[in-house]
């Protein structure tokens, strides 16, 4: 588990790439906030 600063999604992507199994993101109070964070952290599958 990695705690990242509020909406520092570059840090979130680096943590996930490094093998973090979860993120703690402060100031996510609504479903809309959660969906926004999720959409910015998910990356499409890599296909050569």
Q: Is 48 inside a domain boundary?
A: no
**pTM of model > 0.85:** no
Question: Is residue 27 included in any domain, yes or no?
Answer: yes
Answer yes or no: is 33 within a domain.
Answer: yes
Total number of domains constituting the chain: 1
In a domain, 22, yes or no: yes
Q: Is residue 36 part of a domain?
A: yes
Q: Is residue 46 part of a domain?
A: no
Per-residue pLDDT, 31: 95
pLDDT tens for residues 7-24? 777 788 888 889 999 989
Q: Is 6 within the bounds of a domain?
A: yes
The DSSP string of the chain is: -EE--TT-HHHHHHHHHTT-S-EE-TT--SHHHHHHHHHHH--PPP--
Which residues constitute the domain of residue 7?
2-41
């Amino acid at each position: 588990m990695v705690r990242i600063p509020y909406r520092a999604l570059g840090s979130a992507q680096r943590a996930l790439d490094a093998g973090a199994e979860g993120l703690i993101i402060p100031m996510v109070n609504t479903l809309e906030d959660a969906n926004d964070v999720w959409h910015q952290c998910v990356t499409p599958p890599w296909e050569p």
